[in-house]
Each structure stands twice: as structure tokens, then as C-alpha cells.
């Protein structure tokens, strides 16, 4: 970058420095965070660290909250007993998976439950998602050719922010069921989790919000054999890029804008929990705001590696859906940095990330990333460690975000709204 601004006598290079980025990134991606899986001690540790950084920076809490934790609950269901029989024959428990948030379930072919099938010729992923998300009770019979995916489905955590009262049962290995009975016992509990949210109130436009976000959860600890031989990798999914990098950027930007001390609009800095479980943190956060007050949201997701265009570049999902990208790029005129439209539209990143909830409400909410989604070697692997990141480049990206968003922070630019009607439902 050839841009360099002086802020209260301190240049941006001093505030957003490789040293600071390294310090924060190192803590968040350290082995003692145990992969920051939601509902584990590791994520609490990560939360405590982010809170301490927000406190040190001098942010305020969100809407007068007692602290930086934005807590909420999810419901967990643990299957304690399952007994399913089809046409008089008892099904082995290794052949079935049930999803229900009712403590006791007792259903037969006479009950309000539909029998559906996943046939050999079906796309298992697509069909599974369709049935798994059904609001009605379903008894899903799956062709034996898909037996190999059963462990993956048994692995899905049974936690939900708003569980329905329906039951979905998958039985693998049979496609016929004239009569059946389903008896399930589940232990239901409430589990606490939290986003971390800090606020820098605007000087004059207090009720106009600009949001910087990332997610601080990741996948936890896997099995050792998932490490491949090229490094002495352990089984911890450190998530250095996904998304300790985005969380680091949020902390750095908070520090930068606090030191600037001239934001006319209110800036909200947040790191979300439970992104990897289905974006639950972002969904909860988004409901605590009136969307019309949110001027823009920058969600930062995996910015630790070089983009497909090399250094000093990143892409913006949903680039064409508002003029945020143009505003950012305009503010970088004369620099070596470029923001590109998302080059992986087929991957639907705009809809898959934590910006989606607010975008669907019309907010110019975009994700900024450098991740090569067709070829990111360490994506969702135990190799996603700090050594694989380009911290110098990541520091330049954070600076580019700080400088390019300046006119939105100051109130000079107001990005166009996203037309929610044009978005996929």
C-alpha cells in the first residue's frame, strides 16, 4: 500500500501493525483454545480474550449491556433410547439417526408422520438437507448404497436455536415400510453461548450503525489420522484463517477507529459464535437491531491467505447487490489494493456467510474474504495453523478495510440498500 494516513500523530501502520496482528492471531489460533468449538471451554477462553481486548481498547457495551458478552441459549437433544421397528422387525440402532427435540416420541404409521425415500439415483446431500430441514415429521428410508454417509449424519450435533416439535428419523438400508413404530427418548437441555459485541458510539449519527464482524468459533478437535504427513500436525483444528483471521481484524479495527476518535456513525464490532453450527450467532445478533439503522455490514471471513489474484487484493461477496464495493474501491484510488467481485458465485458464499441474515433484510451486508474456495489447501483441516498465513498481507488487508470504509464511517457516503426482493429466499 502506498496510502499512509496520520491519525492523531500516529500513522495507521503503527496501529495496524504486523506485530499486533501476529499477537492477536497467535492467541486465538493457539492449541490451548482447542479449536474454539462452540459449547467447549476453548470457546469461552477465546471469548474472554476478545472481551479483554475490547475492554483494553475502550469500547462500550451493546445497548447498555453489563458486559461484552451477548448471551443466548440453544436447545440440545441427546438421544438416550431409540427403538424402531419396520413391519415387525427391529432396526439395529447403528442403522438409524433421529432428530427430535421432544423428550418422548411415540409414532406409528397411523401418526402424523410422512414416509419419504432417498433412492439410489438421488443426490444424497440435496435430499438429506431437504428432509433434515422439514418442519413436518418425516420417516426417511434411505437406500443401502448410501450406508457410507451414515457416520457423517450421526455426527451432526443436535443443537437448535428454535427447535420445532417435529421428529425426523432416517433409517438406512431399507426402502419399504408398511407398518412401523418409532419410540425415542431424548434428554433435552438448554445450552448457553455468546457473541462478543463492543460499540464505539458515533459523534453525531448515533443511530446509524456500521458493523464489522467475524466469527470466533471453529471446529474443535478431530481425530489424529486426519493430519496428513507433510507436517507434524496434531488433531486440533486451530482455524487460524477460519476465522481467527476475521476476528483478529475486528479487534484491530476497533483499536484503529477508537484511536481515530472521529467516527460520526456508531460502529459495532462483533465476533460471532456458532457460525460452524449454522450461523446461529449472527442470526441472534441480527435480531437485536433494527435493520433500517444499519448502514453497512462488513463481515470478515478468512483473510489470512493470498487471494487468487495475489497480494493486496480481496473479494466482496454480493459485490453487484449494493455499491459498497465501488465506495471502498474509490477510497483506495492511488493505492495498490483492489477489491474484486466474488469469483466463486457458484458457491453461494453471499448466502452462506454471516452477512446473509441482515442482507435479506435489505442491509448492504457483505463478506470480505481472500479464501480460494476452489483451492484453499487448509480449509476446514487441522492444517489451518498460523504458520500457513501471510500475516504481512493480512495486515495490509485490514488497513485497506480501515481506510476504504472511512467515508461510510464518517457519514460522507451512504451505500445503496440491497433489494431483498431480488435475493434467493
Task: State the residue for C-alpha cell 453461548.
Answer: 193
Strand partners, 117: 141
Smallest separation (angstroms) from Zn ion to the CB of 217: 9
At 147, is the secondary structure helix, strand, or coil?
helix
Is the backbone peptide bond immediately before 54 cis, with ω within 30 degrees of 0?
no
End-to-end CA distance of the chain: 39
Smallest separation (angstroms) from Zn ion to the CB of 370: 12
Smallest separation (angstroms) from Zn ion to the CB of 202: 29
> Is 243 or 385 the residue whose CB approaches Zn ion more closely?
243
Q: Is 242 in the site for Zn ion (CB under 5 A)?
A: yes
Smallest separation (angstroms) from Zn ion to the CB of 316: 16
Cα–chain center distance at 138:
28
Site string for Zn ion, 139-178 (x = CB under 5 A): ----------------------------------------
Q: Is 217 in the site for Zn ion (CB under 5 A)?
A: no
Pairwise CA distance, residues 323 & 364, whole Å: 8
Q: Is 243 in the site for Zn ion (CB under 5 A)?
A: yes
Pairwise CA distance, residues 185 & 375, whole Å: 43
Q: Which stretch binds Zn ion (CB under 5 A): 33-41, 159-167, 235-243, 261-269?
A: 235-243
Smallest separation (angstroms) from Zn ion to the CB of 34: 17
> Is 21 or 171 the residue whose CB approaches Zn ion more closely?
21
Smallest separation (angstroms) from Zn ion to the CB of 223: 21
- C-beta of residue 10 within 8 angstroms of C-beta of residue 19: no
State the greatest distance between any 2 C-alpha atoms of the chain, in Å, as a whole number. 80
Q: Which stretch binds Zn ion (CB under 5 A): 3-11, 119-127, 240-248, 408-416?
A: 240-248
> Is 292 or 374 the residue whose CB approaches Zn ion more closely?
374
Q: Is 53 in the site for Zn ion (CB under 5 A)?
A: no
Q: Is 354 in the site for Zn ion (CB under 5 A)?
A: no
- C-beta of residue 338 within 8 angstroms of C-beta of residue 307: no
> Is 100 or 247 the residue whose CB approaches Zn ion more closely?
247
Q: Which stretch binds Zn ion (CB under 5 A): 68-76, 227-235, 239-247, 323-331?
A: 239-247
Pairwise CA distance, residues 243 & 353, whole Å: 12
Three cell numbers, residue 82: 431409540
- C-beta of residue 202 within 8 angstroms of C-beta of residue 265: yes
Give me the half-sphere count of Cα atoms (radius 13 Å) on the Cβ side of residue 257.
Answer: 34
Smallest separation (angstroms) from Zn ion to the CB of 373: 11
Question: What are the CA-CA distances from residue 121 to residues 126, 138, 400 (Å)?
Answer: 12, 20, 48
> Is 33 or 86 the residue whose CB approaches Zn ion more closely?
33
Binding site for Zn ion (CB under 5 A): 242-243
Amino acid at each position: 500500500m502506498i496510502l499512509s494516513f496520520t491519525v492523531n500523530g500516529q500513522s495507521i501502520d503503527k496501529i495496524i501493525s504486523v506485530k499486533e496482528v501476529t499477537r492477536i492471531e497467535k492467541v486465538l489460533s493457539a492449541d490451548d483454545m482447542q479449536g474454539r468449538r462452540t459449547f467447549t471451554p476453548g470457546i469461552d477462553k477465546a471469548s474472554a480474550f476478545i472481551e479483554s481486548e475490547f475492554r483494553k481498547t475502550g469500547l462500550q457495551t451493546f445497548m447498555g449491556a453489563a458486559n461484552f458478552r451477548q448471551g443466548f441459549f440453544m436447545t440440545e437433544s441427546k438421544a438416550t433410547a431409540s427403538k424402531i421397528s419396520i413391519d415387525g422387525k427391529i432396526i439395529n440402532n447403528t442403522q438409524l439417526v433421529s432428530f427430535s427435540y421432544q423428550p418422548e416420541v411415540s409414532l406409528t404409521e397411523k401418526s402424523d408422520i410422512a414416509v419419504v425415500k432417498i433412492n439410489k439415483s438421488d443426490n444424497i446431500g440435496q435430499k438429506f438437507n431437504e428432509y433434515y430441514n422439514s418442519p413436518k415429521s418425516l420417516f426417511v428410508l434411505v437406500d443401502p448404497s448410501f450406508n457410507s454417509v451414515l457416520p457423517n449424519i450421526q455426527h451432526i450435533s443436535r443443537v437448535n436455536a428454535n427447535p420445532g416439535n417435529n421428529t425426523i428419523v432416517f433409517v438406512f438400508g431399507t426402502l419399504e415400510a408398511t407398518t412401523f413404530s418409532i419410540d425415542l427418548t431424548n434428554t433435552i437441555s438448554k445450552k448457553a453461548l455468546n457473541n462478543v459485541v463492543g460499540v464505539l458510539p458515533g459523534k453525531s449519527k448515533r443511530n446509524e450503525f456500521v458493523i464489522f464482524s467475524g466469527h470466533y468459533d471453529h471446529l474443535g478437535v478431530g481425530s489424529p489420522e486426519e493430519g496428513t504427513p507433510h507436517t507434524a500436525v496434531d488433531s486440533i483444528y486451530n482455524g487460524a484463517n477460519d476465522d481467527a483471521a476475521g476476528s483478529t481484524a475486528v479487534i484491530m479495527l476497533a483499536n484503529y477507529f477508537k484511536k481515530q476518535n472521529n467516527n460520526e456513525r456508531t460502529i459495532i464490532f462483533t465476533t460471532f459464535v456458532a457460525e460452524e453450527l449454522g450461523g446461529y450467532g449472527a442470526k441472534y445478533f441480527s435480531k437485536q437491531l433494527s435493520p433500517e439503522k444499519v448502514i453497512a455490514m462488513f463481515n470478515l471471513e478468512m483473510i489470512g491467505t493470498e487471494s487468487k489474484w495475489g497480494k493486496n487484493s480481496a473479494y466482496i461477496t454480493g459485490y453487484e447487490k449494493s455499491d459498497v464495493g465501488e465506495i471502498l474501491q474509490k477510497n483506495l484510488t492511488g493505492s495498490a489494493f483492489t477489491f474484486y467481485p466474488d469469483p466463486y458465485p457458484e458457491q453461494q458464499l453471499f448466502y452462506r456467510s454471516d452477512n446473509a441474515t441482515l442482507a435479506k433484510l435489505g442491509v448492504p451486508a457483505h463478506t470480505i474474504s481472500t479464501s480460494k474456495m476452489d483451492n484453499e489447501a487448509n480449509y476446514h483441516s487441522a492444517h489451518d495453523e498460523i504458520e500457513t498465513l501471510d500475516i504481512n498481507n493480512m495486515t495490509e488487508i485490514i488497513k485497506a478495510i480501515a481506510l476504504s470504509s472511512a467515508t461510510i464511517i464518517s457519514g460522507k457516503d451512504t451505500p445503496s440498500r440491497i433489494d431483498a426482493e431480488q435475493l434467493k429466499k
